[in-house]
Structure 1
Amino acid sequence: MSGVPVPRPSVSIGAAVPSLVRWGLSSDADLVFRTLTTMGSRDSRTLAAELGLPRRRIDESLAELRSAGAVAPAEREARTTTWVPRPPADLVAALRRRRLRLVDPHAQVRNHHGVVTGLTGSGLPVTAIGGTIGDGVRYLPTRQLTRFRLAELMNAERDEHLAINTEQAFDAASSRAAAPLSRRIVERGVRVRVLGLPPADRDLGVDAPLVEQPNFAYREGPEMPLKLLVIDRRVALFPADPADLERGYLEVSQPGVVRALVMLFDQHWATAADPRARCVPEIALCDREHELISLLAQGHTDVSAAAEMRISARLITKILRNLMDRLGVENRFQLGLMLGAARSVPIPLMTPTEVS
């Protein structure tokens, strides 16, 4: 076989391969792409044998990947096509550009005014900028003053925090001001729900550590009614001028208006989606499964892993079979790819001699 190039993986050992499912591709296509990037270029027959999938499913997955720009055919030899994966970072950037739909800022302003106009029946003044504020309505004339007031309200918050973001990208000052406040109320046990638009500059439109907290929830929708904050269902804040956030916010404590805004939030929450729902799901392993997978990742065989765990090799097989059934995969290779995608166990570092 001298002279035949050896397929090389397109990512380094231990590197994470992003899930393509969140970008609208099928789980089969994601599995095939993950195999190509981690194991090197292959033809469809080899992929079918290694993954234990019918050739038809492999061919359909490759066609899907090719249409998405995820793979390209190498030079054909002996009527066999070898498929070369696109670098994951380049592919994700292209898929993000393809999916992104920038929101029309003029439509966003119209939505805001439509909501505020609809609230005037509850006694909310709509000409608050520079004018007299009625009962239960306070005008905070600058964005900085609004931040100070919001910090004051959130420091006293006890039950629930609702927020709607209408930005697809956040400036550094807003991010620095908001993140610590949000983390503090979450740590105090305040239930937080945030609605947002699909972000233009990153995969998730909120502070990443927050999404792991049990009392924090985030959803995205294609359109949001207005930028809004509701504190404990008793105080609401929204921009006085949606076209210029530097002109400050209105703080409203009129019960009827706050109730209407909470109802509006709940309506949009019901139709929004968790952007992580189509990512590789978190895989919870019991202690014995975690120990076994860690040993196998280190290079142990079933027999040597059984000896380390002081159980029989037959029980090792049963543990793996149960885990495959639970995750809906058909063989150990697919199981390894899924566990690697979910980062369920640390990937052991390899020495230079092992990699070469």
Structure 2
Amino acid sequence: MTVDVVAAEGVPVVTSSVPIGAALPSLVRWGLSSDADLVFRTLATFGPRPRRVLSSELGLPVRRTDQALAELHECDAVVSTDDSRAAARIWTARRPAEVVTALRTRRLQIVNAEARERSHHAVLRALRATPVGRDLPLVTAPGTPGTCADGVRYLSSRDRARTRLAEVLGSDIRDFLTMSNDQAIDAESARAAAPLDLALLARGVRVRVLALPPADGDPLDVSGHLVNGTSFQRRESPGVPLKLVIVDHRISLFPADPANLERGYLEVSRPSVVQALIRLFERQWDGAAAHLALPAIRLSEREQKLITLLAAGHTDQSAAQHLRISARSVTGILRALMDRLGVENRFQLGLALGALRVAAPPSLALPDQES
């Protein structure tokens, strides 16, 4: 849907390319003011506008509108025509995805790769210095695949490690621990992990993930279909010592060469070593910050009815008819809820409301409930 608007000062306004009601990222998350976020949302949704039209439509004083535009212009989120008179300039929002990418890049804090490798080797050296791990491989990656010590097996490629992990996770397990010193998950790894994650969640396996904070500093990272409050728990720590998974307190896997994951993984099933790695995980877990602490929220009666209808499969239009409001009002209610919870889209909103136990599962929703 696009909207044709004519500015009050006779300046034609170009139609918007962003559908009304489409989820837009919150620029507040990237350090911008709420005024700047509001002005950007307006320009991105309804199209280019001069400052006075923006000020009038949003009910903002011209001074605050000018400050918001200056803030957006400084981070290249908006552009304007070259008219020398400020009142005559037409402001246009850049594509939201491009703006977010630029803001992320500006805030990137990349972990030093050499420091990450040193941390990995320090953990293994400490293990080898104890009686429980003295015969672990002395070299980074053993030359021959297969058993290389008592209770230690070398999986000589990343694909072999993934296959083995899928095999182990497919058995009857109750607990899965993982530490990750990756700041971003590549698409191939995400595709490989998604079916396993879904299966673990469906089986009620307790999953705990300890990870580095994201490189871009984004405080919100809803991990796909998994949210704190279910059997999945996630915490962040800036000092994750190595990449590690531990399955059911009996099998652990970690990279054979932290500088090159394609060289495969070591699988350790020796109980004494696994227990030492579990103790390492628990120390790191206890010192980490809980991730995605959702704010408490109480839904109004109308919000609760709307969420229940949508959970039961209603469209915006049919939910609006049940509630005797307009479809645009439905969009407004959902947008307000997204902003209150700091999420970007309806999928994340559903996850957040489910985690807070304020939305009924579809099987319990009442599709024929009248307002």
TM-score over 0.5 (shorter chain)? yes
Q: Which of 127, 140, 147 is matched with 2:138 structurally?
A: 127
Q: Would the alpha carbon gap of residues 7 and 59 (structure 1) be closer, same or farther in structure 2, given more than 3 Å must change?
A: same
Q: Which of 118, 136, 139 is matched with 2:126 structurally?
A: 118
- Which residue number in structure 1 is paired with residue 303 of structure 2? 289
Q: What SS does structure 2 have at the residue aligned with 1:238?
A: strand
- Which residue number in structure 1 is paired with residue 101 of structure 2? 93
- Report the Cα offset of residue 230 of structure 1: 1.1
- Which residue number in structure 2 is paired with residue 316 of structure 1? none
Q: Which of 185, 190, 198 is matched with 2:200 structurally?
A: 185
In 2, distance between residues paired with 1:47 and 1:263? 57
Q: What SS does structure 2 have at the residue aligned with 1:187?
A: helix
Is contact 2:228–2:234 with CA below 8 Å preserved after alignment? no
- Report the Cα offset of residue 191 of structure 1: 1.8
Aligned pair 1:18/2:25, yes or no?
Answer: yes
Aligned residue type for 2:278: V
- Report the Cα offset of residue 97 of structure 1: 2.7
- After superposition, the C-alpha distances for 1:112-141 in whole angstroms (9 at most, x for unaligned) are 111211222433124162598554433334
Is contact 1:196–1:220 with CA below 8 Å preserved after alignment? yes
User: What residue ranges of structure 2 are gaps of 5+ in the alignment?
Assistant: 1-7, 311-315, 351-371
- Which residue number in structure 1 is paired with residue 281 of structure 2? 265
Aligned residue type for 1:153: V
Aligned pair 1:235/2:254, yes or no?
Answer: no
- Report the Cα offset of residue 335 of structure 1: 4.4
Q: What SS does structure 2 have at the residue aligned with 1:111?
A: helix
Is contact 1:199–1:205 with CA below 8 Å preserved after alignment? no
- Which residue number in structure 2 is paired with residue 9 of structure 1? 16
- Which residue number in structure 1 is paired with residue 4 of structure 2? none
In 1, distance between residues paired with 2:234 and 2:338? 28
- After superposition, the C-alpha distances for 1:42-98 in whole angstroms (9 at most, x for unaligned) are 445544444345555544433332222112333447542543211212212222332
- Report the Cα offset of residue 284 of structure 1: 7.5
Superposed CA RMSD in Å reads 4.7
Q: Would the alpha carbon gap of residues 4 and 52 (structure 1) be closer, same or farther in structure 2, given more than 3 Å must change?
A: closer
State the TM-score, normalized to the length of structure 2: 0.66
Aligned pair 1:33/2:48, yes or no?
Answer: no
Q: Would the alpha carbon gap of residues 139 and 78 (structure 1) be closer, same or farther in structure 2, given more than 3 Å must change?
A: closer
Q: Would the alpha carbon gap of residues 4 and 47 (structure 1) be closer, same or farther in structure 2, given more than 3 Å must change?
A: closer
Mapping for residues 313-328 of structure 1, pairs under 5 Å: none
Is contact 1:163–1:194 with CA below 8 Å preserved after alignment? yes
Q: Would the alpha carbon gap of residues 100 and 266 (structure 1) be closer, same or farther in structure 2, given more than 3 Å must change?
A: farther
- Report the Cα offset of residue 190 of structure 1: 1.0
Q: Would the alpha carbon gap of residues 35 and 250 (structure 1) be closer, same or farther in structure 2, given more than 3 Å must change?
A: same
- After superposition, the C-alpha distances for 1:295-323 in whole angstroms (9 at most, x for unaligned) are xx86x99xx998x48xxxxxxxxxx9xxx
Mapping for residues 121-160 of structure 1, pairs under 5 Å: 121-122=129-130, 123-124=132-133, 125-127=136-138, 129-130=142-143, 133-160=148-175
In 2, distance between residues paired with 1:64 and 1:260? 51
Percent sequence identity over matched residues? 47
Q: What SS does structure 1 have at the residue aligned with 2:104?
A: helix
Q: Would the alpha carbon gap of residues 268 and 45 (structure 1) be closer, same or farther in structure 2, given more than 3 Å must change?
A: farther
- Which residue number in structure 2 is paired with residue 163 of structure 1? 178
- After superposition, the C-alpha distances for 1:138-172 in whole angstroms (9 at most, x for unaligned) are 33344444334322321235332122234434363
Aligned residue type for 1:73: S
In 2, distance between residues paired with 1:229 and 1:14? 41
Aligned pair 1:247/2:257, yes or no?
Answer: no
- Report the Cα offset of residue 36 of structure 1: 1.8
Aligned residue type for 2:24: V
- Report the Cα offset of residue 238 of structure 1: 0.6
Q: Would the alpha carbon gap of residues 336 and 243 (structure 1) be closer, same or farther in structure 2, given more than 3 Å must change?
A: closer
- Which residue number in structure 2 is paired with residue 326 of structure 1? none
Q: Would the alpha carbon gap of residues 66 and 78 (structure 1) be closer, same or farther in structure 2, given more than 3 Å must change?
A: closer
- After superposition, the C-alpha distances for 1:199-235 in whole angstroms (9 at most, x for unaligned) are 79x9998962345882223455556421110112332
In 1, distance between residues paired with 2:293 and 2:153? 39
